[in-house]
Structure 1
């Protein structure tokens, strides 16, 4: 009896955790000011659907020469079409919808948006204060980290972002957090350092697979996915595409076939899209296809 019990315990602890597909669809929205609205998008009621407002940036919101503010975030998305009232409306109409915000992004007024803290403590304090106001004003549910340029070392980035997410979660201001790295050496070292220290407070990895070359094949895409599973061990790595299909494995050139392969492996942790602003002119046809695939899990 004792030997049987020991064997069972041994098996439980040494057996690999079973992978599991997730019915999660996410879409960035608001960065390109194309007058896109939440209500424009098709929303499958059988999925978890996340809108990600893009972006909140710790720069002054001067249109002429924005400058870094050491963690004091301002809103840079289309607040006319994506207002607090519209956030509440889409969430009331669709109980499966969550709305979050993304930090950083690639640029501000056509210049790189740098992560540029003066110190860990001052940046975290300013970020918690300013983001609390934005999150409460817009009644948001989560946070995404999409810094792509850095004037701070990886350890400082890890502590600033890790502490920020931890505090926002502890205060009950956000329910989930994600990161959005891509395959660039400087970007990866910053995000992997963050993951090693604070991966336990990060729920999803919105890996930008569309940052790869547009000659990407299905086998290459699968290899890229496996590599990121190693880089962010234990994380829910979401697949992704860019609306116009200009980079990465395009939705019209094999993306969904690759997702079907991951689905069979029980590794399709969700799909996200950059971005609704661009998909509007395409009638959101790939969003519909993505959601149909996820709903079939």
Structure 2
């Protein structure tokens, strides 16, 4: 009789909780700090950035782009090349910073805004060929640099949302299945065409995406704390079940800046157990002010209260 009751209970649970459903996790804070690095070629190094031992810190190399530099950039359909400051952010530098700090991981970001002063388009010839090329080229780069994860930051598109979802979803799935990466993130912002694609990806493959690096700094300069909180709630609803990280620009040119209330908003989210982490664009620009905001962000995240 007890066995029969157990079987009935398991049947009911299986019926009402499909395996593909994203379940909203209980509210919780995180000590995760992430920073994009290398896109601006300002000779910034990992060792320049302050590292608080009480946070989990991800450097995100920016960018790997599937464009060919042999002439005027042309799409190469998933064949990625390195476009970050590899002279200062080399494989040996990655190994060194990870060896010196056990709380540091390093990822690479795909896409970005521009390459050689032109928009960096997501422009696959076909899903199958793009995924095959991307898996091959990125596996080579990730292993060469001893990286831990990838970030998806495409901002310009040729092709429909379904194609984007299938290409990126299958890429993440394959890299994880092959144990090439241990985490993946996406970096959308509040633009109709951008959101259509990332939300399609989230709907089909959200269970494989560990973090949502939402670009809150893409909102207008002069954003208030109240507006920021509303934006956060909206995107948390859009990416339901995801760990939506808050963000700002080092140079304060857009969004809610650190000097105008960003850390106030973070404290409010922390009190609500909704602060899943902070990320900054970018270390290259932060170098000018001595990484002041990196220190503040990490101190806030490391504080248990």
**TM-score, normalised by the number of residues in structure 2:** 0.92
Residue of structure 1 equivalent to 2:199: 192
Shift of 1:17: 4.1
Partner Cα separation in structure 2 for residue 82 and residue 16 of structure 1: 37
How many residues matched?
A: 289
Shift of 1:46: 0.9
Shift of 1:279: 0.2
Shift of 1:171: 0.4
Contact 1:61–1:76 under 8 Å retained in 2: no
Any idea what SS the aligned residue of 2:150 has?
A: strand
More divergent stretch after superposition (15-24 vs 236-245): 15-24
Partner Cα separation in structure 2 for residue 45 and residue 68 of structure 1: 41
Residue 39, structure 1, aligned to residue 13, structure 2: no
Within 5 A, what are the aligned runs for 1:211-226? 211-226=218-233
Residue of structure 2 equivalent to 1:20: 28
Partner Cα separation in structure 2 for residue 83 and residue 179 of structure 1: 24
Alignment partner of 1:54 out of 42, 58, 62 = 62
Partner Cα separation in structure 2 for residue 18 and residue 41 of structure 1: 32
Residue 106, structure 1, aligned to residue 113, structure 2: yes
Residue 267, structure 1, aligned to residue 283, structure 2: no
Partner Cα separation in structure 1 for residue 100 and residue 172 of structure 2: 28
Any idea what SS the aligned residue of 1:121 has?
A: helix
Cα-to-partner distance string for 1:232-288 (whole Å, 9 max, x where unaligned): 000000000000000000011000000000000000000000000000011000000
Alignment partner of 2:155 out of 142, 148, 159 = 148
Partner Cα separation in structure 2 for residue 234 and residue 76 of structure 1: 32
Cα-to-partner distance string for 1:73-104 (whole Å, 9 max, x where unaligned): 00000000000000000000001000000000
Contact 2:36–2:281 under 8 Å retained in 1: yes
Shift of 1:16: 6.9
Any idea what SS the aligned residue of 1:246 has?
A: coil
Within 5 A, what are the aligned runs for 1:25-174? 25-62=33-70, 65-174=72-181
Cα-to-partner distance string for 1:30-81 (whole Å, 9 max, x where unaligned): 000000000000001111100000000000134x611110000000000000
Residue of structure 1 equivalent to 2:285: 278
Cα-to-partner distance string for 1:87-135 (whole Å, 9 max, x where unaligned): 0000000010000000000000111000000000000000000001100
Residue 290, structure 1, aligned to residue 300, structure 2: no
Question: Deviating runs (4+, > 6 A) in structure 1?
Answer: 13-16
Cα RMSD between the aligned structures?
Answer: 1.8
Partner Cα separation in structure 1 for residue 51 and residue 113 of structure 2: 27
Residue of structure 1 equivalent to 2:20: none
**TM-score, normalised by the number of residues in structure 1:** 0.94
Consecutive unaligned residues of structure 2, counting only runs of 5 or more, are: 3-8, 18-22
